[in-house]
Amino acid sequence: MLLLGIGYDVHRLVSGRKLVLGGLAIDFPLGLEGHSDADVVLHAICDALLGATALGDIGEHFPDNDPQWKDVSSQVLLGHVLGLVKKRGFRVNNVDVVVVAQQPKLGPRKKEMKDKIALLLEVSPGRVNVKATTTEGLDAIGRGEAIAAQAAVSLCEV
Protein backbone atom coordinates (compact mmCIF):
# COMPACT_ATOMS: atom_id res chain seq x y z
CA MET A 1 0.00 0.00 0.00
CA LEU A 2 1.16 3.52 -0.84
CA LEU A 3 -0.01 6.57 1.11
CA LEU A 4 0.27 10.19 -0.01
CA GLY A 5 0.17 13.38 2.05
CA ILE A 6 0.61 17.11 1.57
CA GLY A 7 1.57 19.80 4.05
CA TYR A 8 1.82 23.57 4.08
CA ASP A 9 3.15 26.09 6.57
CA VAL A 10 3.84 29.81 6.63
CA HIS A 11 5.35 32.06 9.31
CA ARG A 12 5.99 35.77 9.58
CA LEU A 13 9.57 37.05 9.46
CA VAL A 14 10.59 39.06 12.54
CA SER A 15 13.72 40.50 14.07
CA GLY A 16 15.31 38.88 17.09
CA ARG A 17 14.86 35.28 15.90
CA LYS A 18 17.27 32.88 14.20
CA LEU A 19 16.15 31.68 10.76
CA VAL A 20 15.90 27.89 10.57
CA LEU A 21 14.82 26.14 7.36
CA GLY A 22 15.00 22.42 6.69
CA GLY A 23 16.87 21.91 9.93
CA LEU A 24 19.61 24.37 8.94
CA ALA A 25 20.50 27.69 10.51
CA ILE A 26 20.38 30.24 7.69
CA ASP A 27 22.42 33.44 7.89
CA PHE A 28 19.77 36.16 7.58
CA PRO A 29 18.90 39.21 9.71
CA LEU A 30 15.33 38.00 10.34
CA GLY A 31 13.88 34.75 11.67
CA LEU A 32 10.48 33.12 11.65
CA GLU A 33 8.00 33.88 14.42
CA GLY A 34 6.47 30.86 16.10
CA HIS A 35 6.08 28.82 19.24
CA SER A 36 8.82 26.38 18.23
CA ASP A 37 11.78 27.38 16.04
CA ALA A 38 9.14 27.91 13.29
CA ASP A 39 10.99 25.88 10.64
CA VAL A 40 8.31 26.00 7.91
CA VAL A 41 10.05 23.30 5.87
CA LEU A 42 10.01 20.69 8.64
CA HIS A 43 6.51 21.78 9.71
CA ALA A 44 5.20 21.22 6.17
CA ILE A 45 6.84 17.78 6.11
CA CYS A 46 5.30 16.95 9.50
CA ASP A 47 1.85 17.90 8.22
CA ALA A 48 2.36 15.85 5.05
CA LEU A 49 3.35 12.80 7.11
CA LEU A 50 0.42 13.27 9.47
CA GLY A 51 -1.94 13.71 6.53
CA ALA A 52 -0.72 10.57 4.78
CA THR A 53 -1.38 8.52 7.92
CA ALA A 54 -4.68 10.28 8.77
CA LEU A 55 -3.27 11.48 12.10
CA GLY A 56 -4.48 15.06 12.00
CA ASP A 57 -2.16 18.03 11.80
CA ILE A 58 0.86 19.53 13.51
CA GLY A 59 -1.26 21.88 15.65
CA GLU A 60 -3.10 18.94 17.20
CA HIS A 61 0.12 17.18 18.17
CA PHE A 62 2.15 20.25 19.20
CA PRO A 63 -0.29 23.00 20.26
CA ASP A 64 1.17 26.49 20.44
CA ASN A 65 -0.26 26.99 23.92
CA ASP A 66 1.69 24.02 25.34
CA PRO A 67 4.88 25.26 27.05
CA GLN A 68 6.54 21.89 26.40
CA TRP A 69 6.98 22.90 22.74
CA LYS A 70 8.16 26.49 23.35
CA ASP A 71 11.29 27.17 21.27
CA VAL A 72 11.78 23.45 20.59
CA SER A 73 13.70 22.45 17.47
CA SER A 74 11.39 21.31 14.69
CA GLN A 75 13.77 18.37 14.28
CA VAL A 76 12.31 17.06 17.56
CA LEU A 77 8.78 17.48 16.21
CA LEU A 78 9.67 15.68 12.99
CA GLY A 79 11.28 12.83 14.95
CA HIS A 80 8.09 12.40 16.97
CA VAL A 81 5.92 12.39 13.83
CA LEU A 82 8.25 9.94 12.08
CA GLY A 83 7.84 7.64 15.10
CA LEU A 84 4.05 7.76 14.64
CA VAL A 85 4.46 6.88 10.97
CA LYS A 86 6.62 3.89 11.89
CA LYS A 87 4.08 2.74 14.51
CA ARG A 88 1.50 2.65 11.72
CA GLY A 89 3.81 0.28 9.80
CA PHE A 90 5.04 2.73 7.16
CA ARG A 91 8.29 4.32 6.09
CA VAL A 92 9.01 7.36 3.95
CA ASN A 93 9.30 6.54 0.29
CA ASN A 94 10.02 10.07 -0.92
CA VAL A 95 9.44 13.74 -0.12
CA ASP A 96 9.23 16.79 -2.35
CA VAL A 97 9.43 20.26 -0.78
CA VAL A 98 9.11 23.76 -2.18
CA VAL A 99 10.24 26.73 -0.10
CA VAL A 100 8.62 30.04 -1.03
CA ALA A 101 10.74 33.03 -0.01
CA GLN A 102 11.68 36.32 -1.63
CA GLN A 103 14.82 36.40 0.54
CA PRO A 104 17.19 34.83 1.43
CA LYS A 105 18.24 33.09 -1.76
CA LEU A 106 18.32 29.39 -0.89
CA GLY A 107 19.93 27.92 -4.00
CA PRO A 108 23.37 27.56 -2.39
CA ARG A 109 21.88 25.67 0.60
CA LYS A 110 19.41 23.35 -1.19
CA LYS A 111 21.74 20.34 -1.35
CA GLU A 112 22.67 20.69 2.30
CA MET A 113 18.97 21.02 3.18
CA LYS A 114 18.15 17.94 1.10
CA ASP A 115 20.85 15.92 2.88
CA LYS A 116 19.64 17.09 6.32
CA ILE A 117 16.00 16.20 5.57
CA ALA A 118 17.08 12.79 4.25
CA LEU A 119 19.00 12.15 7.48
CA LEU A 120 16.04 13.19 9.62
CA LEU A 121 13.62 11.01 7.62
CA GLU A 122 16.04 8.06 7.50
CA VAL A 123 16.06 7.86 3.70
CA SER A 124 18.71 8.33 1.04
CA PRO A 125 19.15 11.85 -0.34
CA GLY A 126 17.93 10.53 -3.69
CA ARG A 127 14.44 10.26 -2.14
CA VAL A 128 14.32 13.95 -1.16
CA ASN A 129 13.82 16.93 -3.42
CA VAL A 130 14.05 20.56 -2.32
CA LYS A 131 13.00 23.44 -4.54
CA ALA A 132 13.01 27.18 -3.85
CA THR A 133 10.94 29.87 -5.50
CA THR A 134 9.77 33.43 -4.98
CA THR A 135 6.40 35.08 -5.47
CA GLU A 136 7.90 37.67 -7.84
CA GLY A 137 7.36 40.42 -5.27
CA LEU A 138 3.65 39.65 -4.80
CA ASP A 139 1.88 39.22 -1.43
CA ALA A 140 3.39 39.08 2.08
CA ILE A 141 6.09 36.64 0.99
CA GLY A 142 7.05 38.83 -1.95
CA ARG A 143 7.27 41.86 0.34
CA GLY A 144 9.71 39.92 2.55
CA GLU A 145 7.25 39.60 5.44
CA ALA A 146 6.98 35.80 5.53
CA ILE A 147 8.32 32.46 4.29
CA ALA A 148 6.21 29.44 3.38
CA ALA A 149 6.82 25.82 2.47
CA GLN A 150 4.77 23.06 0.90
CA ALA A 151 5.62 19.37 1.06
CA ALA A 152 4.33 16.19 -0.52
CA VAL A 153 5.29 12.77 0.80
CA SER A 154 4.68 9.21 -0.17
CA LEU A 155 4.85 6.40 2.37
CA CYS A 156 5.10 2.67 1.77
CA GLU A 157 4.53 -0.27 4.07
CA VAL A 158 7.55 -1.56 5.94
Segment 64-87, tens digit of pLDDT: 999 989 999 999 999 999 999 999
Q: What percentage of the chain has pLDDT greater than the value 70?
A: 100
Res 112: pLDDT: 98
pLDDT category of residue 149 using cuts at 50, 70 and 90: very high
Res 22: pLDDT: 98
Q: How many separate domains does the chain show? A: 1
Res 90: pLDDT: 98
Res 88: pLDDT: 97
Phi-psi region of 136 (alpha: psi -120 to 50; beta: other; left: phi over 0): left
Residue 112 belongs to a domain with what CATH number?
Answer: 3.30.1330.50
State the residue range of the domain holding 58.
2-157
